[in-house]
Amino acid sequence: MSIYGYARVSTADQDLTIQREALKDAGCEIIREEKISGTSRQGREELKTLLEFLRGGDTLVVTRLDRLARSMDDLSSIARELHERDVALKATEQPVDTSSAAGKAFFQMLGVFAEFETNLRRERQMEGIVKAKAAGVYRGRKPSIDVGEVKRMRDEKGMGPSEIAKQLGIARTSVYRVLKS
């Protein structure tokens, strides 16, 4: 029965020191760390490694649940995996301890609020983009595909979509989309 820690920040310029110290104080023998967004599990190799490594009787410790997941679906999925393998989940800054009934209930409530916060942030971001577009400030991302070049390669060189995509280093579906418009 071992205690493992998981620390995560969203960007490379953020610091893991506070989380690392809290996890050490909680008795974590091994701490896995990542600097990556928590909105999905994709690309979170340290979390993947840790989840594969945990065994029955072990405990996974995080400082806060939002360090583990940003959506209720993701958090529930991780919690289910841990429960099925008899691994407890604890948070140092929240009264979460899935080895008790009260801790499980609180864990689920916090997960709902974490997802709500993420959704609110996304809504505010979209409202800001709409406002910036209306003011002429935001124009979106610059196109990464030269539409003229795609059409020129088709018309002047007689190239097909697959060959165009290969030469320009873009997806074939992107070429089809350009040629369709």
Positions marked catalytic = 10
Instruction: Give the angle subtended at the CA of 47 by the CAs of 41 and 49, to the nearest 5°.
Output: 120
For residue 47, the 8-state DSSP code is H
For residue 144, the 8-state DSSP code is S
Q: Where are the beta strands (DSSP E) in 36-114?
A: 59-62, 88-91, 96-97
Residue 72 vs residues 23, 39, 93: alpha-carbon distances, Å: 23, 10, 19
With a CB cutoff of 8 Å and minimum separation 6, the contacts of 145 are 168, 170, 174, 178
> What's the rounded Cα separation, in Å, for the pair 111 and 2?
25
